[in-house]
């Protein structure tokens, strides 16, 4: 059995609330959020809306819910949603866009998670013989592509396509703060091109639970109804929002450290002979291609280092604020032994 605490690199969702968060949770002033009366939830929503440059925000239990509520707000049944291949809204949200909103995805190619604006334009459907396009949705950073970043110019060009076509533009910004850190710009720059943005507080920022959808007052007003339909009306959710406010205050500034450690880990893996596409290592996620991924992951787990086998020959390792340099060093020793 390992004597040191295990090093959990499966995801940036595995962080546990800090003592300061626990204290804030215990002391949170709460009310019934379905009535809009939880002051701590209201503060969180207002704080994040203000930080990202939007009028309003809506707190929900998960990023899948914020994305799917946004899709419901923007689309009508029978429409298509243009998204980058591998997008979380389709790959990892269990067909919810079809079952809840009655819409289907239209993937566009996205090398390193970045779609070509002209391909997005070509994917827009207008003919009476086709499902009309209802929404364009981007993902920044792009999880499945390796936590890769969409450059600001590309997002602006895709916004131009959306405007030309009269379409709304949503961002799955589960890791939008990682994108801002990697681009070294304020979070407002990453969010500016979009009508709605979904932001996870429980990923790299370190909150135990929750995501926020930000947008105009009007869109967020509509989002309330769909959140309730999905069962996302959480009542005294201020106990969660209290922890999320601390994540929002302290989390963004720490992300550069996660990115530095991810690069360090990737380089160590390459030096040990692993196949890692260094071009994809832009934020806090490292993918390695190797045969028999699950067996390898199981063997590492016995030595106290956890990763995820995603498919038969891919391993994903994710950095977060509860992995310090010492733990990373230990992980590298195990992974490269």
Ligand X SMILES: *Cc1c(COP(=O)(O)O)cnc(C)c1O
**CA atoms of 47 and 45, how far apart (whole Å):** 6
Out of 74, 88, 259, 261, name the contact with ligand X by CB under 6 A.
Answer: 88
Nearest approach in angstroms of CB 62 to ligand X is 3
Choice between 159 and 203, CB closer to ligand X: 203
Quote the CA–CA distance of 262 and 264 in Å, as a whole number.
Answer: 5
Q: Which residue is nearest to ligand X (CB)?
A: 63
139 binds ligand X, rule: CB under 6 A: yes
Q: Is 200 in the site for ligand X (CB under 6 A)?
A: yes
**By the rule CB under 6 A, 211 interacts with ligand X:** yes
* CA torsion, ordered 78, 79, 83, 86, to nearest 10 deg: 0
Q: How many residues bind ligand X (CB under 6 A)?
A: 12
**Sign of the four-CA dihedral 201, 204, 142, 145:** negative
Q: Do 212 and 58 touch, CB atoms closer than 8 A?
A: yes
Q: Name which of 133 and 137 has its Cβ closer to ligand X.
A: 137
- The full length of the chain comes to 337
Our CA angle for 131, 133, 135, nearest 5°, is 140
Report d(CA 337, CA 305) in Å as an integer.
12
- Out of 172, 181, 212, 290, point to the residue binding ligand X (CB under 6 A): 172
Q: Which of 281, 279, 290, 245 is nearest to 261 (CA)?
A: 281
Q: Which of residues 50-79 bind ligand X (CB under 6 A)?
A: 62-64, 67
Q: Which one, 124 or 174, has the nearer CB to ligand X?
A: 174
According to CB under 6 A, which one of 133, 137, 143, 178 is a site residue for ligand X?
143
What is the binding site for ligand X (CB under 6 A)?
62-64, 67, 88, 139, 143, 172, 174, 200, 203, 211
């Amino acid at each position: 059995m390992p004597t040191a605490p295990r090093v959990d690199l499966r995801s940036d969702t595995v962080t546990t609330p800090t003592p300061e968060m626990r204290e804030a949770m215990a002391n949170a002033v709460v009310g019934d959020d379905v009535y809009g009366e939880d002051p701590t939830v209201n503060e969180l929503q207002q704080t994040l809306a203000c930080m990202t440059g939007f009028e309003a925000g809506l707190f929900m239990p998960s990023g899948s819910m914020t994305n799917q509520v946004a899709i419901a707000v923007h689309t009508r049944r029978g429409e298509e949603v243009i998204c980058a291949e591998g997008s979380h809204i389709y790959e990892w949200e269990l067909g919810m866009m079809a079952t809840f909103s009655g819409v289907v995805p239209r993937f566009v190619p996205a090398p390193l998670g970045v779609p070509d604006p002209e391909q997005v334009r070509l994917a827009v459907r207008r003919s009476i013989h086709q499902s009309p396009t209802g929404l364009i949705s981007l993902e920044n950073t792009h999880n499945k592509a390796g936590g890769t970043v969409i450059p600001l110019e590309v997002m602006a060009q895709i916004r131009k396509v959306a405007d030309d076509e009269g379409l709304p533009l949503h961002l799955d910004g589960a890791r939008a703060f990682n994108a801002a850190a990697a681009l070294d710009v304020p979070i407002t720059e990453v969010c500016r091109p979009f009508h709605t943005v979904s932001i996870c507080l429980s990923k790299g920022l370190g909150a135990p639970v929750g995501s926020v959808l930000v947008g105009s007052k009007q869109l967020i007003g509509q989002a309330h109804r769909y959140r309730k339909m999905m069962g996302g009306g959480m009542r005294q959710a201020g106990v969660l929002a209290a922890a999320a406010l601390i994540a929002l205050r302290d989390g963004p500034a720490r992300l550069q450290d996660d990115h530095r450690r991810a690069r360090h880990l990737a380089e160590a893996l390459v030096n040990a002979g692993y196949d890692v596409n260094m071009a994809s290592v832009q934020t806090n996620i490292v993918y390695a291609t190797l045969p028999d991924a699950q067996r390898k992951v199981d063997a590492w787990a016995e030595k106290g280092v956890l990763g995820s086998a995603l498919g038969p020959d891919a391993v994903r390792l994710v950095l977060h604020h509860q992995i310090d340099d010492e733990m990373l060093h230990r992980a590298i020793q195990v992974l490269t032994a």
